[in-house]
Structure 1
Amino acid sequence: MTGLVDLDRRAVEAGVQLVAAVTGDLARPTPCAGWTLGRLLAHMAGQHRGFAAAARGGGADLAVWADLPVDGDPAQGYAKAAAEALTAFAEPGAPERRWALPEVHPTFGFPGTTALGFHLLDYVVHGWDVAESLGTAVEFDDEVLGAALAVAERVPDGPERLAPGAAFRPALPAPGAAGPLERILAATGRSPAWRA
Structure 2
Amino acid sequence: MLTAYDRALDDITVLASGAGDLTAPTPCAGWDLADLFGHMVGQNLGFTIAVADGDAPVGAYESVPVVGDDVARTWQDSATRVRNAFGTADPEATIHLAEFGFHPTVTVALGMQLLDAAVHAWDVATALGQTYRPTDATVTVVLDMARQIAARPGGTPVFAAPLAAGGEDPWGDALRLLGRDPNQAAAA
Give the TM-score normalised by structure 1. Answer: 0.88
Work out the CA distance in 2 between the residues paired with 1:176 and 1:148. 15
Q: 2:19 is paired with a residue of what secondary structure?
A: coil
Work out the CA distance in 2 between the residues paired with 1:87 and 1:180. 30
Dislocated runs of 4+, deviation >4 Å? none
Q: By how many angstroms is 1:45 displaced?
A: 0.5
The code of the aligned residue for 2:137 comes to E
Q: By how many angstroms is 1:142 displaced?
A: 0.9
The code of the aligned residue for 1:150 comes to D
CA displacement 1:7-66 (0-9 Å, x = unmatched) = 21112211111111113x111100000011100000001101111111112533112111
Give the TM-score normalised by structure 2. Answer: 0.91
Aligned twin of 1:57: 53
The code of the aligned residue for 1:85 comes to V
Q: 1:41 is paired with a residue of what secondary structure?
A: helix
Contact 1:131 1:138 in 2 (8 A): yes
Aligned twin of 2:182: 192
Q: By how many angstroms is 1:160 displaced?
A: 4.4
Q: 2:158 aligns with which of 157, 161, 167?
A: 167
1:157 aligns with 2:152: yes
Aligned twin of 1:98: 94
Where structure 2 has 5 or more consecutive residues not aligned to the other structure, the ranges are none
- How well do the aligned residues superpose, as a CA RMSD in angstroms? 1.5
Work out the CA distance in 2 between the residues paired with 1:151 and 1:99. 19
Work out the CA distance in 2 between the residues paired with 1:35 and 1:5. 28
**Same amino acid, percent of matched pairs:** 34
Contact 1:157 1:171 in 2 (8 A): no
Work out the CA distance in 1 between the residues paired with 2:143 and 2:11. 17
